[in-house]
């Protein structure tokens, strides 16, 4: 949803670019090392896309996108304050839109708390909320200022999501805001 929200604010988006972006945004977590062995997942994605009659070069591009958008891996590539993004050629904007969408989903506090509960079921709820507060302060609330989010609409959305996230952290609320769909500005 977030990827589509961003795409609707960009100009000259081709159907091919839209397809690549939305697929990357939809399946990127199925190929994340936090959840699964990446090589096996990439093969499964390839099998699926071949069954959907994707051209081999598009399959390779999509797998390259979803295996290179992890914030933690990209964070390790920062050199002299500059983020070193991989070069995806004609798919660069699709990569950044899918990556932005993933970062924007990170503003949902309930998602963070639930994942922390999954990782550390022995911890107390107070500890889970404390960890969420730390993660948001150290990471999520810096996405725009550090340049991780740079599309104008995504920045605007991040500011709104940040306000909601701060409220949820303060109130220890598990609200999960629904994405808003902007008008098509193409």
Q: Are 1 and 93 part of one and the same domain?
A: yes
- Does residue 73 carry a pLDDT above 70? yes
Choosing from 62, 82, 100, the residue where a domain stops is 100
Q: Are 41 and 127 part of one and the same domain?
A: no
* pTM of structure: 0.88
Residue 18 resides in a domain: yes
> Which stretches does DSSP call E strand in the chain?
none
Instruction: Give 123's pLDDT tier (boundaries 50, 70, 90).
Output: very high
Average pLDDT value for residue range 8-24: 96
Q: Which domain holds residue 142?
A: 106-176
Residue 182 resides in a domain: no
Residue 183 resides in a domain: no
The pLDDT assigned to 178 comes to 66
Distance CA 157, CA 83 (A): 21
Q: Are 41 and 125 part of one and the same domain?
A: no
Choosing from 100, 132, 158, the residue where a domain stops is 100
- Does residue 144 carry a pLDDT above 80? yes
Half-sphere exposure of 180 (CA within 13 A, CB side): 10
């Amino acid at each position: 949803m977030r990827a589509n929200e961003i795409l609707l604010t960009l100009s000259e988006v081709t159907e091919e670019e839209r397809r690549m972006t939305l697929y990357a945004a939809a399946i990127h977590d199925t190929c994340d090392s936090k959840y699964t062995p990446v090589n096996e997942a990439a093969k499964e994605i390839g099998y699926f896309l071949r069954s959907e009659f994707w051209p081999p070069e598009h399959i390779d591009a999509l797998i390259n996108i979803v295996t290179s958008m992890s914030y933690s891996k990209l964070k390790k590539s920062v050199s002299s304050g500059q983020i070193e993004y991989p070069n995806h050629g004609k798919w660069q904007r699709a990569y950044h839109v899918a990556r932005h969408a993933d970062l924007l989903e990170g503003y949902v506090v309930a998602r963070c708390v639930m994942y922390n509960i999954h990782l550390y079921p022995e911890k107390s709820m107070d500890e889970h909320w404390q960890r969420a507060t730390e993660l948001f302060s150290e990471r999520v609330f810096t996405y725009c200022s550090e340049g991780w989010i740079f599309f104008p609409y995504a920045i605007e959305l991040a500011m709104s999501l940040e306000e909601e996230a701060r409220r949820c952290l303060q109130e220890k609320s598990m609200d999960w805001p629904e994405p808003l769909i902007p008008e098509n500005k193409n």
